[in-house]
Every structure is written in C-alpha cells, then in structure tokens.
Amino acid sequence: MSATTLSPPIARLPRAAPRWWADLGGLAAGTSLLIVTALWVSDGGVQALSTGFPLASGQLTGLWSADLLLLQVLLMARIPIVERAFGQDRLARWHRWVGFSSFWLMVAHIVLITIGYGSLARFVPTLWDLTANYPGMLLAVAGSALLVLVVATSLRAARRKLRYESWHLLHLYAYLGVGLALPHQLWTGQDFLGSVAATVYWWTLWAVSAGAILAYRIGLPAWRNWRHRLVVSHVAPEGPGLTSVYLSGRALERLPVRAGQFFQWRFLDGPGWSRSHPYSLSATPHGGLLRITVKDLGDGSARVAGLRPGTRVLVEGPYGKLTSETYAGGPVTMLACGIGVTPLLSLLGELPYGPGQATLIYRARSEAEIAFRHELEWFAARRGVRVVYLLGRRAQRESWLPARYADHADAAALTEIAPQVARSDVYICGPEEWAEAARAAARQAGAPAARVHTELFSW
C-alpha cells in the first residue's frame, strides 16, 4: 500500500484538551493533600502530636499515603481528557513519583503506628498483634505485599530484566492492593470516618477512583471493541524483524484517533492473547484501514508476523499526545530513532505543512534497519519533506547523535541539520534516554518548550 492511499485523514478527530485543564489538574492534586491535612488537624491531630508523636504522625502519613494512592489510581485510569491535557510522558513521570511517594509514606505509617501502639523494642510483637487482632489488618497486609511487589518491579533495574507483558501483568496487582486496603481504613481508621466531612471526602474519592477505572479501563474499551469489531486485514513485511499489520473494522471513521497516537493491542490468535502490547499507528488513520508496524523484540511481538487475515483484535485507547492538536502551521522538525519512526510517519500524513517546511531526522544503526524508505521518498517527492538519515552505532555518551558525530555538540548539530528548528514544532519519538537527549538538544537550539512534543518509546 502506497503513501498516497494512506494520507487521507480520518473524518472525525477528537478535540484538543483546553490548556487550563493541566493547571486545574495540578491544583486539584495539591488541594487534595491540603484537605486531608486540614481534616486531620480538625480531628485534633496537632494536639495528639504532643501526647503521642509516633501514633499521631503515623496517622497523618497513612492519610497522605492513601490520598496519593487514590491519586495514582486516577493517573492510571486512562481518562481521555486527562490523557490529552497532560500527555503520556508527564503522566508517566507523575505516576512514578506519586507511586513511590505513597509507598514510602505507607512504610512510615506502618513503622510509626506500630511504635505508637507499643515501642521500638517490642516492634515485631506489636506488629503481629495489630495484624492478627485488628479488623481488616490481614487484608491490609496482603494489599501492602502486592504494592511492594509493584514498586519493586517498577524500579529501572527490574524493568530492564522483565518482559513488557510480565511487567504489565504484575503492575495490575496495584488495583488489588488498593482494594484490599479499603476494609482496614474503614474499620480501624477513625480519621476516615471521624466526621461528616471526612466521611464525605473519602467515600467521594474512593467512588471517583473506582468509577474512573470501571468507566475508562473497562467500559469504554468494551464499547469501542463492540462498536468497531477490528480484525486483521493482512500483514506485510517491512524489513528485517519488522512487520506491518493492516486492520479493518466497522465505522472506523468514528474511531476518535489521531496520527501519532497508540493503542494497547490484543490479538485473539491463541494462547497469550490476554497480554497487551503498546503499538503506535504507523500510517495516518482514515476510514478504511488502520496500520501498525511491529519490531520483533523477543517479547511476544514475533507472533505478529504469523497473524492470519480475519483474526479478531481487542484494543484499549487511543492514547498519547504526540499529535497535531497544537500545530498552528510553520516549520516542522521530527527526530525518530528506530521503530520510533512509526508515529512520526503517520504525522507526516496529517500535518498541514507546506513544501520544504518539514524535516525528518531518522536515526538507525544501519541502512538495513531503515523502515518505510519508499513512503519517506513519497513524502519527499510529493510534499517536499527533507529526510536525513543518521546511521551507525550509538555514541559513548548521552547524545542523540551516532558515534561518528560524537565530537559535535548536540544542539549545534541539530541546528546545522535543521536550521529552522528554533521556529519549528519539534516531534520526538524513540527510546527514553535518546529522546531526552534529543529534547534537550532542541531546547538548547532555541525551540520553545511548548512546541517540543515527545513520546517515549519505553515502558
């Protein structure tokens, strides 16, 4: 299929989230912690510090931990307006920060409460007594153990050793861990039910969090899968270890997806179908077909090459903010590394740039690893896109440049390749460290932060 048949845009596109949503979301998160603290103070928390510091401070750290834990659930809920307001990169950073903060506050809560009910010298017997004899505590311990598992597997060193599908499955245990903590909080945590205001606040927060998960992680994907009935149309090899999958379905013109976004994909082709994989669209979406392109990374992605026409497909999404929503015209500079070229290729078909206004810098290890050369040549010939290939092994320093250009300063090299970068909308997609180096180079070259758009090709 040529680039000409993939370029018509989809008829209905989702609206961009208002800019003030991002500010409102951050304000709401900070306000929630202030409310929790105010409720603790109104319940005599400050006075309790003077009579029993470990117990009182343990109560406060437990409240903060619970609040951040529910905030983390909301960050994981895939609420569309939140996704479009903040973007995956920012949400991922916040999710990680909030998760680790909540975890360590939970540890402080356990330690301080145990000392408060006993003493440091009798820590273990007191902890056992609390666990065995207080209502809901056994469930809370099980929930805490699951959260420890999630946090341990979220460390960078652990993530590098796990397959994506294994990490994703383990990460889902966070929901069970949160759910197991609820009885403990309601049965033994008087701070949750000590006043009408506290009861209303905590039940509302729990209801909103649970409702968001049911609506956006279960309900909305189920509705879209029933409505669009995606199936594999055909597959096509694109190069060594690269396979494109073309998908058809019902009423695809009503699927609210933009070029540059991704879905979580499940192919119902046999054992292992329940494990989802994040793949970006590699062609501009239109009413007839969708296309993704998958690199064989040894994590279950190899099976994509053997998919048969007619195979049913389940999706969650679309996700991601690497779109044309904020593009107002003018120069475009794109930086792609490896399979990260796929969302940028789809953007090339949707962005309304003029001839000679777009530059795509494509980083690959060798000529053999360049994907979609014919389509890139089509964009160069028909729409005036300037394509620059940077080949070779990686530099032995944090840089977006290959080793043979390692003596060049990152920002200076970018300006030399794309002189218009300071006036451009800059789109970057690739592995995390490479994308961060490319983003830093674009900012140093004069591109405003609001016009530098990234999507990390990582988890």
For 280-296, the pLDDT digits (tens) are: 999 988 768 899 998 87
CB-based contact 133:143 (threshold 8 Å): no
The domain spans of the chain are 20-223, 229-319, 332-456
Name the architecture of domain 229-319: Beta Barrel (2.40)
CB-based contact 356:384 (threshold 8 Å): yes
What angle do the packed helices 137-154 and 123-133 form, to 10 degrees? 120
Give the whole-angstrom CA distance, residue 282 versus residue 260: 8
Domains 229-319 and 332-456 fall in the same CATH topology = no
CATH of 332-456, one of 3.40.50.80, 3.50.50.60, 3.40.30.10, 3.30.420.40: 3.40.50.80
Per-residue pLDDT of 198-212, as tens digits, reads 888 888 988 998 899
**pLDDT exceeds 80 at position 217:** yes
**pLDDT exceeds 80 at position 59:** yes
CB-based contact 173:200 (threshold 8 Å): no
Q: Three-state SS string across the chain, please?
A: CCHHHHCCCCCCCCCCCCCHHHHHHHHHHHHHHHHHHHHHHHCCHHHHHHHCHHHHHHHHHHHHHHHHHHHHHHHHCCCHHHHHHHCHHHHHHHHHHHHHHHHHHHHHHHHHHHHHHCCCCCHHHHHHHHHHHCCCHHHHHHHHHHHHHHHHHHCHHHHHHCCHHHHHHHHCHHHHHHHHHHHHHHHHCHHHHCCHHHHHHHHHHHHHHHHHHHHHHHHHHHHHHHHHCCEEEEEEEEECCEEEEEEECCCHHHCCCCCCCEEEEEECCCCCCCCCEEEEECCCCCCCCEEEEEECCCCCHHHHHHCCCCCEEEEEEEECCCCCCCCCCCCEEEEEEHHHHHHHHHHHHHCCCCCCCEEEEEEECCHHHCCCHHHHHHHHHHHCCEEEEEECCECCCCCCCEHHHCCCCHHHHHHHHCCCHHHCEEEEEECHHHHHHHHHHHHHCCCCHHHEEEEECCC
- For 15, how many CA atoms within 13 A lie in the half-sphere containing its CB? 4
Per-residue pLDDT of 144-200, as tens digits, reads 777 777 777 666 666 666 666 666 666 666 667 677 776 676 666 666 666 788 888
Tokens 């969708």 found at: 290
Banded model confidence at residue 124, pLDDT cuts 50, 70, 90:
confident
Burial class (CB in 10 A: 0-12, 13-18, 19+), 437: buried
Q: What is the mean pLDDT of residues 74-100?
A: 78
* Of residues 392 and 296, more confidently modeled: 392
